[in-house]
Structure 1
């Protein structure tokens, strides 16, 4: 059968080895996929002006770019956060913005636990000591055990719930703050619901799982760090802007916190002169918590399936800007 083009789908940018999952999902529908590596809103606007759907990873999908989209029926973000898309502009044009929140739940939860263990057990520091010829059977004192310690979760979505399950297996008590989650969800997961102030005061390890919004930006700031235990550890695998970077560096340098482990930062990649890089008590990974070979494929497939649903007249699963389809 001769292939007939019915729709155009633009991929503003991507960090994947190829776009095979998108082609396999969308081309049988009559979709022509046009991909670029846009860096500016102008480039996005030029690419997407006549697209029926847009897939985007990091490129700035600005109000100006959205204003030039003549036929767009959906914008799908590869990933959970939608910071790069002007949600208000899309809403005003009646274009649903969709994310993919469920492609890497286990990967991010595993990474959060790995950061917690590495930070609390001081594993990178001990490994460095051994390589320098320092051998100690009780190194880097003090190192605290995790059994009986309290894990606090800022946000209680799917990833935080997976983190709670893993932490409970280590014998940790679990508390969480999330004003948007029903009490029954906390009970079902064996997690105590607390307010933000109690979360800060009581957490021995605080793991952040908040979206970045006007309300959550710098949720963890200088004032918050002063309320936390000086023996507490901070883990962030959500959004960099939730943590005030300068305030965190100051808190760590003043021993207001025992340590921090971050997979996300306000500025990415991290600046070589960032004070956080000079602190042994701070571990930084490269926004890679989401990644495994399996999650990579799921992300591309799930994003393409959202486009497919809309083009075929269905409803996307995860609209984030309140536009109904």
Structure 2
């Protein structure tokens, strides 16, 4: 029986390495793995639908579900997760020292609909009482000018969003005090090059993020894996086949991180970090599937709606292929 060829765009994560090398092959599928930077993958998939399957921003995916003809269907595989307390940066000229100091300020975001800022705004709201509509958002390129929202947004008027000038960058504006803070997925270059001007809102972020996880159980999801809907509708079995393969590839990555004879990464205290993570979050600290992530996903869809990005709160049942709902273990 011939195998179905599918193109797949994703960054070269350790948890997808076995799919890239072919050590794990999805049943019935020839996967053409294209290792691309996430921004390139998102742009090409969202604007032009260039791939059959792709890593996709969770927020962008949720925005597409509000269309009359949603172009993608996701499987509950989450190649990127990240605690985001460390990703709130402030200009030292702003006088911001605590979360409450953000109220009324001008806050940069590369894109309002980016997943990382959605989580940051939600965390600031739930944990610190900061209304997402209490600041003015300033959008544009973080390091290079000219960035625009990948998807057209229709936000409620209470959210104030302004674009920066065609030659400006958020990293430079933060250092110069032209914006007061920055919510982002990547540390701005000026945080490293001009530490006298740019700082983190939470400098000692690790214990804060661990405490957040301890009382919420949330390890924020950033990206999902999405299939072009017309391909999924023609071959619905591929959702389960892909999901099973992603789980198998991730299991190999878990095992490799525990090997101490020769370290998989260049982190000198890798084993200590793994053991500490297991003690804090359990042996399967990066779970795939629906049920173990239901609370995380439902929290995100609440944030998405509260921040004006979804006209209604999305349900998990409409977000993921039904073939992937049954839980199993490799």
Q: Report the TM-score range of the alignment, normalised by the length of the smaller protein.
A: 0.3 to 0.5
When the two structures are superposed, what TM-score results if normalisation uses the length of structure 2?
A: 0.37
Structure (1/2) with the larger helix percentage: 2
Larger radius of gyration: 1
Q: Which has the higher contact order (CA 8 A, sep 6+)?
A: 2
- The TM-score, its normalising length taken from structure 1, stands at 0.37
